[in-house]
Amino acid sequence: MEKIKKKWGIKSNWHLAIIFIVFSITGSLTVIIKTYLFVRFGLGSETSLLLLIPLYIFSVIPIYYILLLIVGTGFGQYRFFMAFEKKSLGRLFNRKKI
């Protein structure tokens, strides 16, 4: 735990617990919303994986990051999660010039 606290710049165990709670709530909400959307649009087990995988990627990632900010803000952790998103999205979309 100390390694995570140091990496994220967290001083108290309470702050770390709140961050873990936000991550768990956000993950659960993302699954619920993704399931609702896929059912609403008629996507299920009979749908081709070639269609489902890109739809899953392009729907779940934005939903997750939006919910992370909303839930994080609700718990008073907007600055932490905004910095977290900038860093993780920067890694995701970082393209090195050759």
C-alpha angle 56-57-61 in degrees, rounded to nearest 5: 110
- Answer yes or no: are the C-beta atoms of 80 and 72 closer than 8 Å: yes
pLDDT tens for residues 8-44? 889 899 999 999 999 999 999 999 999 999 999 888 8
The CA distance from 15 to 21, in Å, is 10
pLDDT tens for residues 68-94? 999 999 999 999 999 999 888 887 777
Per-residue confidence band for 96, with pLDDT thresholds at 50, 70 and 90: low
Phi, psi of 41 (to 5 degrees): -95, 10
Domain ranges of the chain: 2-93
The CA distance from 42 to 54, in Å, is 16
pTM: 0.82
Share of the chain above pLDDT 90, in %: 53
Q: How far apart are the first and last CA of the chain?
A: 38
